Structures are given as C-alpha cells and as structure tokens.
Structure 1
Amino acid sequence: MSQTHSVSICGGVVIKRYVDWARGEHLREWAALQLVSAAEPDLVPSPLRCSWGGTSGCSPGGIGTGSAGADGLSILMSLVPGRPLAGALAPEELAGLGTALLELWSIPADDLTPISYSAFVDRVREAMGTWRGTGIVGAAQTAATAWLSSGVLDQYYEPSVPVVGHGDPNLSNYLWDGSRVRIIDFEDAGRSDLAMELANLVEHLACRTTDWTPLIDRFTTTGIRTDANHPGALQLHAGRFHAARCLWAAFWLTMLRPGGPAVDRNPPNAGNLQAARFLSLLPTYS
C-alpha cells in the first residue's frame, strides 16, 4: 500500500506532509485532532496549524487534484511521548489502551464526516470477486462471497453507538509512555460505530497476538459518555460486533489472498491462516 504522507520532527513539533489526499485525509485528521484535543487534551497531539500550499488553513478545494503548491499540504501538531505498542500487549498496556479508547469513544462525534461502511462493504465485495482461491482460501472466498451478498450487513450501516472512529488501529498508532496510551494518525478518522471500531482493532493483522477478551468485556458492560448531552451508554452489541468482525476478517482475506496487497509483508502461510480465521467466525462454521 502506498504511503499518503511523510513525517518530520522539529523540536516539539511534528510536521505531517501529505503526498496523497484523495479521500480528504487531511480534513479528516484536522477535524478529529481539533475535536479530540478540545475534549481530552492529553489523549492526542494538539493541532497547531494546517497549511495548504504555504498558507494557513485547510482548503477542501484541493481534494483529489493532486496539486497543492510547492510546499504541499502539511499539518503541524505537538509531539506526544511514548513508544508504539507492538506484539502481545502486557496487561498494563492493554488496560491503558482500553482507557484511551474509552476516552476517545466518549467524545460526541456529531460534527465529524461519517465513515461509510456501505461503501466499505462494496469495496470488500468487489475485491472478493477479483480472484479465485483454492483449498481453504477458496472455501473461505466462497463463504465470504455468499455472506457479503446475503444482506446481513444492511442493518449495520448506520451507527448504533456513534463514536469518534480512529479508522487505523495498527498498534503503532498507540503510544505507551509507561502509564498511559496516546493515539496518533487520524487521517482515516470520522464518525463511526463502537462495534465497527472495536472489531477493526481486534481483527487487525498487527493485533493478532493479544488476547482481547478483557477489552471486549470492558465494553460489553455499560460505560457512560462524558458529555451530558450524550448520555447514551458505550455498550457493545454482541450481534453487531460479531458481524463487524466477520467483515474485517473478510477484508484481510482479500489483502492476504494469493498476490494480494499484504502478501509480501506477511509470512507465507498468512493467507491460509486468515481463511481459517474467517471461517471460524461465520456462524455456519463455528
């Protein structure tokens, strides 16, 4: 997958320069950083300036044009402490991540651009039909194609529990300083759904060596939002969460298929393992 940005650090300031912004990544990140930093100042980098071609302020007019002046598009933000999480998380790291996510998901997301899961399902469905697998990969592809076309996901397109969606739960985007977790890289952010966001984390390839049961249990019980105008509980709906896990597992199957975009960065047997994982999640195969 191509990189959408480069990052440099000058003193206590991070300069994120975009080389691709076709999906409005800069606008999503700027809006999310402003919203979250205002509500939870120590959870994310503080947004300092968004420059478009050397001028202050984000301009939506450049989305998809591929041109932003000599200096390009850049977002300046504060440097936050911590090292990226990786591998199997220690209990204290997992607890810290859970606290950070609770803080993030307790912030009302009304003003953010929605993340379209109907478009995501269409994308996964289309990708599933561009190849033909064999063995267990072929069995998973056949099952995924039927499941994606069954309409079971239609009821989940609109958020049940709207939250600030981070959109990219690679563990490297969560920084641990020994006592708390901070979150970076919001270019895929938007208004999302609790079940979809948690499933995205649990099913991410970078997160497979951690037992997520304590975190899932944490959101299975009721958590209260911090804003008095949004008292709805942050409570996970089991059926919705399971469907979301199947969706993300199907996505990773398309990424790890023979010749897929993520094949070269993963072990040779990753595709077979992903196929087995997807089949284990489907009710028919569980």
Structure 2
Amino acid sequence: MDDRFSTHNLEIRDDVVIKRYASWGRGEPHREWTALTLLAEHAPGLAPAPVEAALDAYPPMIVMSRLPGTVLRGQDATDKQITAMAAALARLHQAIPTRVVEAVTPAPWGPATAVNKYRAWAHKQPNLGDDPIVRLAYHEGAAWLASTDPDRLTTNPFPPVLGLADGNRANYLWDRDEGRVRLIDWEDSGSNDRAFEVGEVVEHISRVDGDLDAERLLALIDLAPREAERVLGFRRLVALGWMLQLGPDGPATPHNPAGTLERLAERVLQVLG
C-alpha cells in the first residue's frame, strides 16, 4: 500500500495500516468503515480488510489489512493493468446486492453536486489565460453546461453501486505478482451512479500523471448503450470541471505541471465532439 498521495496520517506496519483522519466533516471514517465492511463480506480481497476502528475518537482511527502493490498514478498503465482495473470495477459494481447498496449513505460527490458546482464555476467566467484552444474549450464547455444535457445526467435510471466517488488513480493498487488491482482510500465512498463513477475514473486529472488509455478501459467495461451515453456525458462534465480548476488563478493550478491546462482543454474539445 502506497501513502505518497494520502492526505491523512498513515502508519504502515508489516501486516496492517493504521489510518488517522486529518478531517472528518463528511463522515469519512464512517464511510470508509462501512465500505470496507461491505467489501469484506461481498467482495473479499478487493479492498483492505477491516480490522479495528475508533470512529468517534479524536482523531478517528481505522486499522485495516496492508495490501501489497504500487499505485497506478504516476506511470503509464499497461494493457494488463487496464484489464485488471476493468475487472476490479466490474467486481465492485456487481458483487454487492442492489438492496444493500440502496441502504448505504449517498456519496458526497455525485452527479447533481458536480453539475451544480461546475455550472457555478463556469458562470463566474474564471481566468483561463489567453491560449485560443483553452478559450475555445471554455466557450464550448460553458454552452454545453448551459444546455439541458447535464440535467438529464442527474437522474439515474440504473441501480446504484458502491463507489469511491474519486477517480484518482492513486486509489488503484497494482499487485504485479497476482496481476490484479485492488482499491484503497474509501473515505469519500457511498452509493453512487455507476456511469458517474466510470466517467470519474477515465477523466480524473491523475490521467495526465502517466498515461491511461481511456478507450481501452471503457471497451472492457460492460455498459448498456444508454449507460455508455451517460458515461460520455460524465466524461464531458469531469474533464470540463478539471479545466475550470486549472486557470492561472484556479485552486488546482499549483499542483500540476506546466501545460496541463492546455492538455485538459484539448481533452474537453475531444469529448465534446
């Protein structure tokens, strides 16, 4: 298990990881413990096994099993790794019965929240600099956000799934010896829209920190035609949202290498078609 991208305090021992939370205003410890417990019952081995918890301590703390492997962020994903990512997502989305997922607290990051947030940002007309491609991407993206297409994404006609609600590839742990991917960092998890979860994975900003062949990953995920259309909509939403954060005065700008904004703008134009 890799802690390079963690925002909490991790004590990594030989067989367990002790996680002490730096913030818990969204119920992060309870969300993570619920997810780990459900996964241990319905999809053992896909995530760390829950060992012990002090959810109401100060700070809250969870003890979980330590998993082998390295995170997929920061490297170019190979075909084997992409295949293993698809298998992990399929197991996550299929192993837990719908009736069980429906009883789980909704994830704090989902379709309606994302649509409202990115519409508000676009309305403020953030400073995205003078690059013509970036300005075109903003113009096209803002027009799409102002249409009725995003509103249709907020109503999910499919059963909910348990999701990470975070497409960061630092949450995907590659075990080279077993040729499998496991999922870590469940503090923002909850019931969510599967199409949104998939869109988050393929368009999260971590995709520029090491290449991920999104089309190859999507080809390996069994999506109904209508669900595939929704994934495209969420790809547009997530890609545009990251671009809006990366202007000269954007909140995410200091954390990404030069040229990231321009790459994101090209991606926005690509997914908008």
TM-score bin (small chain): 0.7 to 0.9
Other-structure match for 1:63? none
Query: Is it true that 1:199 corresponds to 2:176 in the alignment?
Result: no
What do the CA deviations read for 1:212-269 (whole angstroms, capped 9, x no partner)? Answer: 32321222457xxxxxxxxxxxx76232111110000111112212222222222222
Other-structure match for 2:66? 79
Counterparts of 1:26 and 1:151 in 2: how far apart (Å)? 36
Change (3 A) 1:221 1:247: closer
Other-structure match for 1:24? 27
Change (3 A) 1:189 1:152: same
Which residue among 209, 212, 237 is the counterpart of 1:210? Answer: 212
Tell me which of the two structures has the higher relative contact order, counting C-alpha pairs closer than 8 angstroms and 6 or more residues apart: 2
Other-structure match for 2:112? 118
Say if 1:258 and 1:271, in contact at 8 Å, map to a contact too. Answer: no
What do the CA deviations read for 1:7-41 (whole angstroms, capped 9, x no partner)? Answer: 11233121111111122222221111111111111
1:49-88 equivalences in 2 (<5 Å): 49-52=52-55, 54=57, 68=58, 72-86=59-73, 87-88=75-76
Change (3 A) 1:151 1:24: farther
Counterparts of 1:52 and 1:215 in 2: how far apart (Å)? 36
Other-structure match for 2:150? 153
How far off is 1:144 after superposition?
Answer: 2.1
Amino acid of the structure 1 residue aligned with 2:219: D
Say if 1:137 and 1:272, in contact at 8 Å, map to a contact too. Answer: yes
Change (3 A) 1:206 1:141: same
Say if 1:33 and 1:46, in contact at 8 Å, map to a contact too. Answer: yes
What do the CA deviations read for 1:58-95 (whole angstroms, capped 9, x no partner)? Answer: xxxxxxxxxx3xxx111111111111123221111111
Counterparts of 2:167 and 2:23 in 1: how far apart (Å)? 20
Other-structure match for 2:169? 171
Query: Is it true that 1:132 corresponds to 2:127 in the alignment?
Result: yes
Other-structure match for 1:8? 11
Other-structure match for 1:274? 264
Say if 2:30 and 2:55, in contact at 8 Å, map to a contact too. Answer: no
Give the SS at the match of 2:149.
coil
Greater Rg over alpha carbons, structure: 1
* Higher share of residues assigned helix: 2
Change (3 A) 1:236 1:185: farther
How far off is 1:190 after superposition?
Answer: 1.2
Which residue among 98, 112, 134 is the counterpart of 2:86? Answer: 98
Counterparts of 1:123 and 1:157 in 2: how far apart (Å)? 13
Counterparts of 2:226 and 2:70 in 1: how far apart (Å)? 29
Change (3 A) 1:212 1:236: farther
Amino acid of the structure 1 residue aligned with 2:52: R
How far off is 1:53 after superposition?
Answer: 5.1
Give the SS at the match of 1:143.
helix
Aligned length: 254
Change (3 A) 1:165 1:52: closer
How far off is 1:118 after superposition?
Answer: 1.0
Change (3 A) 1:277 1:201: same
Unaligned runs of 5+ in 1: 55-67, 223-234
- The alignment's TM-score, normalised by the length of structure 1, stands at 0.81
- The alignment's TM-score, normalised by the length of structure 2, stands at 0.85
Other-structure match for 1:143? 140
Say if 1:194 and 1:236, in contact at 8 Å, map to a contact too. Answer: no
Say if 1:195 and 1:236, in contact at 8 Å, map to a contact too. Answer: no
Counterparts of 1:21 and 1:3 in 2: how far apart (Å)? 14
Change (3 A) 1:256 1:177: same
